[in-house]
Structure 1
Amino acid sequence: QRLELREDAQGEVHTIGLREIRCDSKEQLIDMIQFGNSVRSSGVTGANQSSSRSHAILQLTAKRRNGKTHGKYSFIDLAGSERAADTQGNKAKTRLEGAEINKSLLALKECIRALDQGASHRPFRGSKLTQVLKDSLIGNSRTIMI
């Protein structure tokens, strides 16, 4: 299912139809992670027998008792990029998915480069991935990539 995003007047990006689910135990959290993985797109490519065909984002929001956000942790599993030479035997749909994945990863690279260089323009609108990750990359945030 494709994401529909909206940006509000304050520049905050919202995902239409996204649900926030309260987890009161680690078991509930594990169940939610397993559910997210079960609906994730994957398939066979020329490079891998089982290849993730989508990015996955798990966001944990810590809130105070008054309901105000205290902090947010984003765990992102990016779909792997593919070289065109590795996708020649794939179906058109798989090649198109690969092109979309590569496009979003390139947009992320361009945003990170702009931030690193202190550029005044940061191309977050280059992909839905970078729009969703915008608040994790700017402002009072810390980012670690593994």
Structure 2
Amino acid sequence: NKKRLRVLEDQKGLVQVCDRKEQQVKSVQDVLNIIQHGMSIRTSGTTAANSNSSRSHAILQIILKTSTPISVQSNVTSSVSSSSRNNNHNNPAVIRRSVKEVGKMSLIDLAGSERGKDTASGDRLQRMEGSEINKSLLALKECIRALGRGDGCHVPFRGSTLTKVLRDSFIGDKSKVCMIAMVSPTHSDVENTMNTLRYADRVKELRAGDNGETVSNEDDEIKMDGIKKG
């Protein structure tokens, strides 16, 4: 009964995930609680390769914002009487905060790619899930390959929902990408291990800004949030 999230582009060309949940955190424990909740509702299943296989990609985005207080004296109309003037010092000041987004870190746990024979014994839904997972991983691979070529070539970010969401993690002069590959030491999985290592090796070829794309800074506009000081 999970609600399907739609991924759309707004008028500025920025990717938006409709109905996603964004929560303010104030401590490490707050972050851990959110991660634990996300893992508890993540789709998983059993395949011939793994007893507990992730059947979905999980994305956690941490947005860092700075807040600078700005004191503004409130304008209160006072009478000419001396008693009113003497009470002016009691008028509360208005504290406004200048909030600016300064960075975003995306943590992505990709669903594992599986060979056809690993899901062959499963039902139709499981085989469809495996096919969709492999398609999205292939789309991500094509984006990485295009970014590695550079020279402003077209990068097919619209190839899958996954690559749409991760678009701003790959482009821009300040973007950095790190991939951690999980492999099996067993001889029977040597083919999968080599494919995974080759996949991760392509990420090493990436250089920030190689494709000539830039990220819009319009999201960095200063927002004023009025708070009264009592």
Q: TM-score range by the shorter chain?
A: over 0.9
C-alpha displacement of 1:64 = 1.1
Aligned to 1:25: 27
Aligned to 1:45: 47
Aligned mates of 1:86, 1:51 — CA distance in 2: 11
Q: Which segments of 5 or more consecutive residues in structure 2 lack a partner in the other structure?
A: 68-97, 181-230
Aligned to 1:144: 178
Secondary structure of 2:60 counterpart = strand
Residue by residue, what CA displacement relative to the aligned partner does 1:62-89 show, whole Å, maximum 9, x if unpaired?
0010222110011100000011122110
Aligned alpha-carbon RMSD (Å): 1.0
The residue type paired with residue 120 of structure 1 is: C
C-alpha displacement of 1:19 = 1.9
TM-score (norm 2): 0.62
C-alpha displacement of 1:120 = 1.8
C-alpha displacement of 1:43 = 0.5
Residue by residue, what CA displacement relative to the aligned partner does 1:12-70 show, whole Å, maximum 9, x if unpaired?
10000012100101111110000000110001011111000000011101001022211
Aligned mates of 1:104, 1:67 — CA distance in 2: 35
Residue by residue, what CA displacement relative to the aligned partner does 1:79-108 show, whole Å, maximum 9, x if unpaired?
000111221101110110000000000000
Residue by residue, what CA displacement relative to the aligned partner does 1:110-139 show, whole Å, maximum 9, x if unpaired?
000000001521000000000000000111
The structure showing larger relative contact order (alpha-carbon pairs under 8 Å, at least 6 residues apart) is 2
Q: Which segments of 5 or more consecutive residues in structure 1 lack a partner in the other structure?
A: none
Aligned mates of 1:98, 1:12 — CA distance in 2: 29
Aligned mates of 2:112, 2:122 — CA distance in 1: 15
Aligned to 1:83: 115
Of 110, 134, 138, the match for 2:142: 110
Aligned to 1:96: 128
Q: What number of residue pairs does the alignment pair up?
A: 146
Structure 1 segments, 4+ long, off by >4 Å, are none
The residue type paired with residue 157 of structure 2 is: F
- Structure exhibiting the larger radius of gyration computed from Cα positions: 2
The residue type paired with residue 32 of structure 1 is: I
Secondary structure of 2:166 counterpart = helix
Aligned to 2:160: 127
